[in-house]
Amino acid sequence: MEYDAIVVGGGPAGSVTARFAAESGAKVIILERRSEIGIPVLCGEGISQRIDNWGMLEGKRWIASKMDGAKIFSPDGTMVTLSKEMAGNETGYVVYRDIFDQELARRAAKAGADIILNTEVTELIKKNGKITGIKAREFDEKFEINANIIAGADGVESKIGKWAGINTTLKTNDLETCAQYTLTNVDYNSDYCEFYIGKKISPGGYIWIFPKGENTFNVGIGVLASLSDSRLPLKLLNKFINDNPILKKGEPIRFLAGAVPVSKPIETVKDNLLLVGDAARHADPITGGGLTTSLEGGKIAGETIGKSVEKQSFDKETLSSYETRWKEAFGTKLIRDYIVKEIMLDFDDKTLNMLADSLKDYKFEEFSTLSLVKALVIKHPTLLMKLTPLLKLTDKSLKKA
Amino acid sequence: MEKSKIKIDIKNCLACGGCISVCLQDAIYMISSKANLDDKKCIRCGICIKTCPIGAIQESK
Ligand SMILES: Cc1cc2nc3c(=O)[nH]c(=O)nc-3n(C[C@H](O)[C@H](O)[C@H](O)COP(=O)(O)OP(=O)(O)OC[C@H]3O[C@@H](n4cnc5c(N)ncnc54)[C@H](O)[C@@H]3O)c2cc1C
């Protein structure tokens, strides 16, 4: 088999990459080892409403509910609110991740991409130092596919990049290890996404409660792996639910384990191979959210593949425009949020309570981690001194506070 | 004293891939939605044990 491009992984990053590559004329195939796209769901399912502007998803079937904002609870229960009234009405959705992923795959297929399931990519084929294709296994059958470009969209494991010589191994302080329930029959009405932080609640991470409508909630935990221990995420999540009289009465309809990279971005192009989505370590280091960057990065990757097929040029120079463009789109944000993550790790529960108290009546400019970080810097310039230059805050905006 | 072997209990593994992403030796592979450990590559550092959110990886006694 011959293709212009092979996309390894049929998650959001892979499907969007394949779609935009196919739309710009490339012959592409997605290889996915799961037997159903999007399943199992490994996700909190929260996403910014910014995706409305990108036209990547049609219809509304993938939307479980629209959120009115976010509430962040410090260890002593002090609440900081980012609501849609304050944030110019743009907040986010809680999605059905299975339908979401399948919708993105449908658009890739519509654009002409081929998809094979039950197929694990096991090796890269290299000839004279150049990657010429992949080896794969579909059930017991082994086969090879040749292609000019390989896109690794293989998620947190990121083996494709590793095999190409990119150091994708995560340090334990750059990985959130997660457990999550979908609870139903929960007697609670809220259209806010809730976040609970604190060393005892979840070391180096947080617990989330995201509303999916119909008394159903996505409730999960991420613990920084360097501060975790065998089974700790599950134990802490169970404790949180059991200590909460309302959640405790809910019943689970789904349980999962998960892992999200919260590292600095890495090298994403090696010769004729590129990495996208979680494989490229594009998830946000503070929130662990990686859906928007998978979509943004996937579009840029797909367009870059299209261009290089058009020019029939498959070297690092041509593909590196992908890296330049994703850095422009969200590279600064990833680096900034990585630094914020590191600073936050030094804060004890007392400091977190103090910070939350200072923001409990704050009117945020917009629904984003940036507006939260800005507010913290404005209120506590010395505590967060390292951040001030990163935010490029003008004297004016500092004085205004 | 030799460090004891590490064992992934595949009946409990939920295929999150966390252990794979932190393994320094590239010794863990997903096969049929289960993490499998290549004992020949494993250096028994134990990082994967601490990373597993549900405790499916243990030292084998
Ligand atoms: C518990 C949890 C909660 C999260 N909550 C949120 C949230 O609320 N909001 C948000 O924005 N993000 C969230 N994230 C992050 C988000 O899920 C990821 O950023 C997103 O899935 C990245 O998409 P992707 O396409 O890069 O990777 P994935 O969705 O992981 O897709 C990778 C695909 O590649 C396949 N694959 C891997 N290796 C191979 C191989 N060798 N051969 C063939 N196929 C292969 C896998 O089967 C998989 O389907 C969460 C993550 C977790 C774990």
SS3 B37: strand
Residue A393: is its pLDDT beyond 90?
A: no
pLDDT band of residue A84 (cuts 50, 70, 90) is confident
Over chain A, what HEC string results? CEEEEEEECCCHHHHHHHHHHHHCCCCEEEECCCCCCCCCCCCCCEEEHHHHHHCCCCCCCCEEEEECEEEEECCCCCEEEEECCCCCCCCEEEECHHHHHHHHHHHHHHCCCEEECCEEEEEEEEECCEEEEEEEEECCEEEEEEEEEEEECCHHHCHHHHHHCCCCCCCHHHEEEEEEEEEECCCCCCCEEEEECCCCCCCCCEEEEEEEECCEEEEEEEEEHHHCCCCHHHHHHHHHHHHCHHHHCCEEEEEEEEEEECCCCCCCEECCEEECHHHHCCCCCCCCCCHHHHHHHHHHHHHHHHHHHHHCCCCHHHHHHHHHHHHHHHHHHHHHHHHHHHHHHCCCHHHHHHHHHHHCCCCCCCCCHHHHHHHHHHHCCCCCHHHHHHHCCCHHHHHHC
Q: Does A145 lie in the same domain as A131?
A: yes
pLDDT digits (tens, 9 = 90+) for A237-278: 999 999 999 999 999 999 999 999 999 999 999 999 999 999
| Contact criterion met (CB < 8 Å) for A230 and B57 | yes
For the CA of B16, the closest atom of ligand 1 is 53
Q: Does A246 lie in the same domain as A371?
A: no
pLDDT digits (tens, 9 = 90+) for A149-185: 999 999 999 999 999 999 999 999 999 999 999 999 9
Give the number of other Cβ atoms within 10 Å of residue A163's Cβ. Answer: 20
Q: Does A31 lie in the same domain as A139?
A: yes
What is the span of the domain harbouring residue A216? 172-261
pLDDT digits (tens, 9 = 90+) for A349-382: 999 999 999 999 998 878 888 888 889 888 888 8
A155 CA distance to ligand 1 middle (Å): 5
Q: Does A39 lie in the same domain as A128?
A: yes
Q: Does A333 lie in the same domain as A378?
A: no
**Residue type present at position A257:** A
Rounded Cα distance between A337 and A387, Å, is 10
Q: Scanning every residue of chain A, which has its alpha carbon at the shortest distance from the alpha carbon of B57?
A: A230
Among candidate residues A235, A261, A287, the one where a domain is terminated: A261
Asked if residue A352 is part of any domain, the answer here is no
CATH number at residue A180: 3.30.9.10
Q: Which residues of B touch A33 (CB under 8 A)?
A: 30, 33
For the CA of A38, the closest atom of ligand 1 is 49
ipTM of the complex: 0.95
pLDDT digits (tens, 9 = 90+) for A9-29: 999 999 999 999 999 999 999
Asked if residue A72 is part of any domain, the answer here is no
Asked if residue A371 is part of any domain, the answer here is yes
Q: Which residues of B touch A162 (CB under 8 A)?
A: 26
* 8 Å CB contact between A168 and A161: yes
Q: Scanning every residue of chain A, which has its alpha carbon at the shortest distance from the alpha carbon of B27?
A: A159
Asked if residue A85 is part of any domain, the answer here is no
Picking from A157, A232, A258, the nearest residue to B20 by CB comes out as A157
Length of chain B: 61
The average pLDDT across A36-54 equals 93
The average pLDDT across A71-90 equals 86
pLDDT band of residue A390 (cuts 50, 70, 90) is low
Test mutation, A177, A180, A226, A281, chain B, max B CBs within 10 A: A177
A364 CA distance to ligand 1 middle (Å): 30
Rounded Cα distance between A338 and A262, Å, is 8
Residue A89: is its pLDDT beyond 90?
A: no
pLDDT at res. B2:
65
Q: Does A306 lie in the same domain as A195?
A: no
pLDDT digits (tens, 9 = 90+) for A121-134: 999 999 998 999 99
The model carries a pTM of 0.95
* 8 Å CB contact between B8 and B36: yes
Among candidate residues A261, A285, A300, the one where a domain is terminated: A261
| Contact criterion met (CB < 8 Å) for B18 and A231 | no
Rounded Cα distance between B60 and B31, Å, is 21
- Smallest CA-to-CA distance from A284 within A170, A137, A174 is with A174
pLDDT at res. A399:
42
A302 touches ligand 1 (CB under 6 Å): no
Q: What are the angstrom distances between the C-alpha of A342 and each of A148, A224, A369, A384? A: 39, 11, 15, 11
CATH number at residue A268: 3.50.50.60
pLDDT at res. A391:
67
Q: Which residues of chain B have pLDDT under 50?
A: none
Half-sphere exposure of A395 (CA within 13 A, CB side): 0
- Smallest CA-to-CA distance from B9 within B44, B40, B37, B39 is with B37
Rounded Cα distance between A334 and A265, Å, is 7
A152 touches ligand 1 (CB under 6 Å): no
Q: Does A268 lie in the same domain as A206?
A: no
Picking from A156, A225, A231, the nearest residue to B17 by CB comes out as A156
Q: Which residues of B touch A136 (CB under 8 A)?
A: none
Chain A touched by B16 (CB under 8 Å): yes
Chain A touched by B49 (CB under 8 Å): yes
Asked if residue A270 is part of any domain, the answer here is yes
**Axis crossing angle, helix A97-110 with helix A12-23, rounded to the nearest 10:** 20
pLDDT digits (tens, 9 = 90+) for A276-306: 999 999 999 999 999 999 999 999 999 999 9
Picking from B31, B49, B54, the nearest residue to A234 by CB comes out as B54
Q: Does A313 lie in the same domain as A206?
A: no
pLDDT at res. A394:
44
Q: Does A296 lie in the same domain as A151?
A: yes
pLDDT at res. B1:
54
pLDDT at res. A400:
42
A204 touches ligand 1 (CB under 6 Å): no
* 8 Å CB contact between A52 and A91: no
Q: Which residues of B touch A170 (CB under 8 A)?
A: 21-22
pLDDT digits (tens, 9 = 90+) for A175-226: 999 999 999 999 999 999 999 999 999 999 999 999 999 999 999 999 999 9
Among candidate residues A212, A235, A261, the one where a domain is terminated: A261
The average pLDDT across A5-10 equals 98
Q: How many domains does chain A have?
A: 3
Q: Does A281 lie in the same domain as A187?
A: no
A161 touches ligand 1 (CB under 6 Å): no
Asked if residue A152 is part of any domain, the answer here is yes
Please report the domains of chain B, with CATH numbers, ordered by start residue: 5-53 (3.30.70.20)
Chain A touched by B36 (CB under 8 Å): no
Q: Which residues of B touch A259 (CB under 8 A)?
A: 16-18, 21, 51, 53
Chain B touched by A89 (CB under 8 Å): no
Asked if residue A356 is part of any domain, the answer here is no
CB under 8 Å to A20, separation ≥6 — which residues? A111, A298, A299, A301, A302, A303, A305, A306
Asked if residue A250 is part of any domain, the answer here is yes
Q: Does A328 lie in the same domain as A196?
A: no
Pairing of strands A2-8, A28-31: parallel
Pairing of strands A69-73, A79-83: antiparallel
pLDDT digits (tens, 9 = 90+) for A326-344: 999 999 999 989 999 999 9
Quote the tokens at residue A309.
């097929």
Q: Scanning every residue of chain A, which has its alpha carbon at the shortest distance from the alpha carbon of B23?
A: A169
Q: Does A156 lie in the same domain as A127?
A: yes
Q: Which residues of B touch A158 (CB under 8 A)?
A: 21
